[in-house]
Every structure is written in structure tokens, then in C-alpha cells.
Structure 1
Amino acid sequence: MVIGAGLAGTEAAWQIAQSGLRVRLVEMRPVRRSPAHHSENFAELVCSNSFGALSSDRAAGLLQEELRRLGSLVIGTADEHSVPAGGALAVDRGRYSAALTAALEHHPLVSIERREQLGLPPAHQITVLATGPLTSEPLAEDLKAFTGRGECHFFDAASPIVEGESIDLDRAFRASRYDKGDADYINCPMDKEQFLAFRAELLNAEQAELKDFEKGNACFFEGCLPIEELARRGEDTMRYGPLKPIGLWDPRWGDVNDRDVRRTKRAYAVVQLRQEDKDGQLWNLVGFQTNLKWGEQKRVLRLIPGLEKAEFVRFGVMHRNTFLESPQLLDATLQFRRRKRLFAAGQITGTEGYAAAVAGGWLAGTNAARLALGQSPIELPATTMIGALTHFICEAPGAGKAKRGGFQPMPPNFGLMPALAERIRDKRRRYGAYRDRSLADLEPFLH
């Protein structure tokens, strides 16, 4: 059984079925809706449509490449439904999740149950728990009783999406940072006066109430902060984050190689929009996760040059994410130490990011199938990105340690991997060496 048809659950169910085993995939939508999802399709991407950098000498890109080589359905489908995004892997959100849903619905060994799972299955049942950060309350309470640990959570938010035709390209311009790849992003430049006025309105805008979430105790994941939270942290925080102007130049300003032109024309801050769909009709405001009231979002975001008449097809939302205290609960096979037939995968384990969720689904699904077939579960070496991330969240020997009581979600990064035999100062070459070692050490695990 696989509980949850998000990124991790979709991948886990596919890997089990591809091993020749029957699998039941339980998904509560549409019987019960979550606070963040908009459809009943599997693997719906909530916050963004990007899996991160494509290049395998970047942490996210290396994780994607490992998954491709391991036969990941979710990453393979992302490649098939990609949209232009400079050096990143971004997808047409709707077509992508529809394709994954169809793949599982038509698999002869997958049976889909649209219902809410109210508790953990019996101990004899081999189960992958992939309910994600929005685990339903009855199951979360049962899981809490089983683990004997208090609930961990942080608050997450999604960015607004606007219609492409409503963006004023007389004020905005197309470019990718440092002109890498095609001009895949729409960029809205601000001068200092515009930026300061925009920040002031962000700070004064009214936020949506957290409703049934814990009020007054919002713990944000640092990798996905609401834009209004960034604004609160200081005048330059946004300019060194999602609004950084470095590497973005509008040819209409003049010759980028002319120092005088650069000094007088350079933008003080730049808001970027990334394409959401194949046809370029929908655009996501990059890094603009927000919990502002919808009316306030429309008012404040229309202060951005080029978005004065923006038509919003989705406003930003905030929701609470739940995750396990994995270092005290899970082995690096993603099995619960107290119940070897129960696996956990995806964001509920404390990994952050889409590709990391897929990786957990691949490993948990593969190991659940191996257990059912009488084979030993595998651990991937910490020299691979999947292995490094898994070893970190599970506190495996030789990997990074998460502080007891202070465990926070972790995205893929090269800092999790064991040091190279030879010290390499140049960062690009060092990351390339990590990649080469990782892909070589992954070879024995390929089908």
C-alpha cells in the first residue's frame, strides 16, 4: 500500500508496480480537499512549477540526473512536459500532473482508492507513507501516537500566477540571468524609489488569517519565505534574494559593456516571472510566496512595473507543513526503526524540494518492493545526492547530524556529501567532481 499520491507517492507506487507487484494507492482528494491543492490529479505541484537547476554540477540538477538514471517516472515525465526556464527544469503544471495520473490509472498492477486514510494500516501490511506536508489530521494523530513524538511543522506558501497577455512588455523585458540559455524569464525592473515604495506597501499590507493553523507561532522554512517576511528582514533582503538585479540587462538600456551606461541604467531590483505552461499564457512570480489577503496581493503586486494591469489566475496561499522527526525515527532505507514494514517518503520525512520528494519515493518504493520479494532493502551511498540527503535526515553514521529537537527540512546541497579526496578550491570544478563521483558510485544500483 502507498498512502498519498503526491510526488513521492506517485514515484513509490510506480516503482513497486514496475517490480511486478500489485499496489494499492490511496489518495484522499477529491473526497477530502487539502488547504493548498487545486485539483484531484496526482503529483500536483503546489508552490512552484520548477524542479530547480538542470545542470548536473548543481545540487538540484545532480539529484534529477540520478533519478533519470534510476528510471524515475516523475522526473522522466517532467522532461516530457518541460517549459522554457533558462537553466532550470520547469513543467507545464496541469499537463504534467495529468500525465502522471493517467500513467498510474492505466497500470495493470496499480489500484487507486480515492478515500481518506484515517490511521496507520496493520503492522503486517507493507506500507509507504507518502502523505506529504499536508497529512490529514486523523492520520497525523495516529502517527503521532505511534512515534510518541510531538508534531513538527513549519509554514509554507505558494506564489501568485498571472496571465501572460496582461504583462506590459513595454516596461518589462525578456532575459535569463547572465544570458544563460534563451531569454526565458520576464523581468520587471525597479529603480530605488519604486523599490522602496513597493517594500513599504508590502510591510503595511494586511495578511490573511491563519484560520485553524497555530496563530502567533509561525515557523517558516528559510528556503521558502513569504515575500512580506523577506521585506520585514531589512531593506536589502529582497534585493539579495528573489529581486536581485545582478546579471539582468534590458538591451533597450544601451550597451551592457559601456560602464557609464551600466552605472546610470542598471535596475535597483528586478522581479522575475517564470513560464508556467507550454503556451506561455501563465507566469509565476518567482520567489513571491505570500500570505497577503487576495485583495492586498492584487493591489500591492500591481505596483511592480509591467504588472500594473496584471490579471491573476491564482493568488498566493499559505499552509502548514508537517514533517517527522526523522533522525530519531527512520533508517537510511526509509524504514521506521520500530516497524520495518512501514516506510516514509517525501516531504513528511523532512526533505525539501520537489526532486528530493521524488527521490524519497523512489527509495521507499524500491525498498518496499524488495522487502515483499524477500530481498534486503538498499541504502544508497552518501557520495550520491540521494544517499547524502537520506543519510542526513536519518542521522546515518558518517553523515551530517541534525540537532535533536531542532530538526528542520533540508534541501539537496553539496554540503551534505563527504569531502572529496583532493581539495578543489574552484567551486565549479569542485561541484563537477562531486557529480562525477556520485554518478560513478550510483552505477551498481542501476537497473
Structure 2
Amino acid sequence: MEPLHIIGGGMAGSEAAWQAAQAGVPVVLHEMRPQVATFAHRTGDFAEMVCSNSFRSDDDERNAVGLLHWEMRAAGGLIMEMATQHRLPAGGALAVDRDPFAAAVTERLKSHPLISTSYEEVTELPSSGHWIIATGPLTSARLAESIRAATGAEALAFFDAIAPIVYAESVDMSVAWMQSRYDKGETAEEQTAYMNCPMDKAQYEAFIDAILAAEKTEFHEGETAGYFDGCLPIEVMAERGRETLRFGPMKPVGLTNPHNPVKPYAVVQLRRDNKLGTLYNIVGFQTKMKYGAQTAVFKMIPGLENASFARLGGIHRNTFINSPTLLDEQMRLRSRPNIRFAGQITGVEGYVESAAMGLLAGRMAAAEMRGGVVPPPPPDTAMGALITHITGGADAKTFQPMNVNFGLFPPIDAKGGRKGRKDRYKAYTDRAKMAFAAWLS
């Protein structure tokens, strides 16, 4: 059998390769790293986590992304298996030790007898063979231009920002304290999932002033600042109103400062970033401030006055296609049906969503190559809601990257009266699990 070629070894490409190989189809996984570097990646490993080490909520009963975790596990997903093996304490979230996680994904893929790897940059859309393009938000310029030329449509783009990472030993724990929001952590280890740095009103106001005044990265000519709302730089949030951060990533609710009985006006949370507990990322603090400005501004945070940074924040261009106009329900390019797209380049946002679309693309391609068809999952499942959104459910004129959320699902029939939010979300997940199990079988 001829092989399935997959371009890109990120979350989507890795999951697509695994699913296709598990279905008995030989795979060639093409990855340009480390021969061709990106500003955001540090290694040549597959499934390297760049922006964050979190797969977000693992609650599969009342959370849409937790439901997506459940569906991927039910489908034998490699990304979820490795994430679970390398998880870190994070309250109700699924956070992972990013380097061992990526190394484990790489080892599993390279040891699979039906998967071979090719390290080079693919610069042109192929005219023959079976292909999945899973190049993610950092698609190389030459391949992006080939996609644009083939589709006749301009690639859409927004800017995605990276949060800084702090060395834990440099945090002043006489000011900061360990606690998960609402005390969701149960064990002593889980209580080290988050550090909290409190601010009073005067400190918060001075911090906002500093963010607004800080020197920012400029955009290149022809680029536009079309940010994805789920990953806004903190300075963009601050520009929307002085209280925006205090009701967003700096909200003080659910936290009690053991050093001071006075409730903090705002709180900066840092989430554990590795198993050793030596690194913590500043939650929700994606930024386009220049490096010197970042160091000065972040050291204004109580407890971080002497902080050392393992990585400062950054910003990069995130490219995606207008999937509702370009892809069919099998994720194939309508003008070239031998090519599928998967992952963030299709207009889903987030590690989990990207891997889920890779899972579907890999299964669909493998089935087609073996003479069969895998229909899309029902739209009342998490995967089904996402693929429905990107292949026709969204308005092509206003199409923007989207996280999985219950707003993408068909409404629940609230028999016997309107359900409360928690009951409604539980009804969504119960219905989805039944539908997904039926689809799998």
C-alpha cells in the first residue's frame, strides 16, 4: 500500500500519524524541525508544547474541553495517553511536564513499525498521493504561499502570544503562596500546582499603568493585529479597560492569602510547568511587550521582585485557512481532494482541539485508502461540533479560530423546564458520550 504523507509533527500531525498507522496504513511523517527552526520551538521533538503546558480542564462531565479529552481517550488517542502519563498537579486541569511528554510522543511514533520520518521542509502542495497538511500556526512561508496560490484565497492570520516562565526558586514565598483556586487540589502535591501573588489596589493600578506605557513589539507592514480572544496579550486586555485583567487572569476569587487576612484586590497566578516544580508559567500573561519592558513590568508583581525568567513572552503570526469555503466534511481540500488539512491551520484553537482534528483526519484518510469511509462524528459530540463548525457551520465571512465550547453543540431539549447551567452542561456531555460511543462502534 502506498503511504499516507503527513506534513507537520505537532499535535495534529502526531495524532493523525498514530491513528492512521494503528489502522494499518503506512505513514511518512514530514517535519522541518530541527533543520528549519521556528522562533517558538526549541527542539526537534514531535508534539512540542510552545505556548502553555496545559490541556485545560479535564472535567468530562461539565466542560466541553474535558469532554473532548474523554472522546480522544475513547478513540485511543496518543496525545491524551501521553499527557495522562506525564501530567502534573494542576487542580482540575490537565497540565503536563512538557519536555518528557514530547519525548514520549516522539519515541512512540518512531518505534511504530508503520511510521517513518522525514526531516525536511515541504515547500509545495503535492499534486498526487494521499496527504494531510498539519503544519499548524507556524506554517513555513513557502508552503503558505503554495497553499494561497492553490486555493485562490488569502490566508487569514492573527497573532498568538506566549506567556513567560519563571524559575520557582526566585519567587518570594513570604509574599506569594501555594493554592489552587477554590482549593480544588486535594493532595499536598496538588497544592503546589499554583503560586499566587497578591496585589492591593494601588499596586494593581501602578501595574496597569506600566503595562500601558511599556514598549511593545511593532507589526510588520501589511500585518494586522487580529487577535484570538482566548489568547489576548495582557496589554490588549488592559487597553480594553482598567478592570479587564482583574476580572480575567488576575481575578482574586476563590483564593485566600495566608500572609494577610485582607482580601487581595487582584492576584497573579503562576502554574507549575514541569514535574520537578522548578518552573512556573504566569497564567494568562501572553504579551507582546519587548523583553526589557517585560522584565521591568513583571518584577512589579509582589513576590516576583527578584524573579528570574526561564523564558520571556513573545508573539508570532498564526496562519489558518478559511476552512468553511475550502474543506469538505472529510477535511479534504475541495479543489484537491487528495489533500486533507488538520489542526490549528483549519481554524481550531488549542492543543486539544488541534490533536482532535488530527485524530479525525488520520482516521478518515486511512479509511479512504483502505476503500472505506469514516463519517464525521455526530454534531452533538465535541469532535463533531468542531468539525461541523470548520467545514460549514461557521460564517466564512467572519471565520475566526475557535476553541471547543457548548455553544457549538445543538441545543439540549430542556424537557420539564429550563435546566440550570451545571445540569445543562451535564446533559450535553451525557448525550455526547452516548453519540460518540455509537460512532466509534
Q: 1:112 is matched with which residue?
A: 117
8 Å Cα contact 1:245-1:268 kept in structure 2: yes
Q: 2:64 is matched with which residue?
A: 59
Task: Say which is worse superposed, 36-45 or 299-308, in terms of deviation.
Answer: 36-45
Q: 2:439 is matched with which residue?
A: 445
- Over 3 Å counting, the alpha-carbon distance change for 1:216 and 1:17 in structure 2 is closer
Among 371, 375, 384, the alignment partner of 2:372 is 375
TM-score (norm 2): 0.95
What amino acid sits opposite 2:203 in the alignment?
Q
- Over 3 Å counting, the alpha-carbon distance change for 1:317 and 1:63 in structure 2 is same
Alpha-carbon displacement from aligned partner over 1:119-155 (angstroms, at most 9, x marks no partner): 11123x1111100011111111111111111110000
Among 324, 327, 330, the alignment partner of 2:324 is 327
Q: 1:352 is matched with which residue?
A: 349
RMSD value, Cα: 1.3
What amino acid sits opposite 2:310 in the alignment?
V
Structure 2, unmatched stretches of 5+, are none
What amino acid sits opposite 2:406 in the alignment?
F
What amino acid sits opposite 1:134 in the alignment?
L
Q: Note if 1:198 corresponds to 2:192.
A: no
Once the two structures are superposed, the pairs formed by residues 190-229 of structure 1 within 5 Å of their partners are 190-210=199-219, 213-214=220-221, 217-229=224-236
Q: 1:259 is matched with which residue?
A: none
Give the share of equivalent positions with the same residue, in percent. 48
8 Å Cα contact 2:197-2:269 kept in structure 1: yes
Alpha-carbon distance in 2 for matches of 1:373, 1:39: 34
8 Å Cα contact 1:341-1:368 kept in structure 2: no
Alpha-carbon displacement from aligned partner over 1:229-265 (angstroms, at most 9, x marks no partner): 11111110101110011111123434xxxxxxxxxx1
8 Å Cα contact 2:174-2:259 kept in structure 1: no
Alpha-carbon displacement from aligned partner over 1:84-110 (angstroms, at most 9, x marks no partner): 111100000111111111111111111
Alpha-carbon displacement from aligned partner over 1:285-321 (angstroms, at most 9, x marks no partner): 0000011111111111010001111110001110000
Q: CA deviation at 1:62?
A: 0.6
Q: 1:68 is matched with which residue?
A: 73
Aligned to 2:123, what secondary structure does the other structure show? coil
Q: 2:198 is matched with which residue?
A: 189
Once the two structures are superposed, the pairs formed by residues 24-423 of structure 1 within 5 Å of their partners are 24-56=28-60, 57-123=62-128, 125-182=129-186, 183=191, 184-210=193-219, 213-214=220-221, 217-254=224-261, 265-395=262-392, 401-422=393-414
Q: CA deviation at 1:173?
A: 0.9
8 Å Cα contact 2:132-2:341 kept in structure 1: yes
8 Å Cα contact 2:233-2:286 kept in structure 1: yes
Q: CA deviation at 1:214?
A: 4.4
8 Å Cα contact 2:175-2:259 kept in structure 1: no
Q: CA deviation at 1:379?
A: 0.8
Alpha-carbon distance in 1 for matches of 2:329, 2:425: 24
Alpha-carbon distance in 2 for matches of 1:24, 1:216: 34
Alpha-carbon distance in 2 for matches of 1:307, 1:292: 17
Q: CA deviation at 1:406?
A: 1.5
Aligned to 2:237, what secondary structure does the other structure show? helix
Equivalent pairs, count: 429
TM-score (norm 1): 0.94
Alpha-carbon distance in 1 for matches of 2:299, 2:204: 13
Structure 1, unmatched stretches of 5+, are 255-264, 396-400
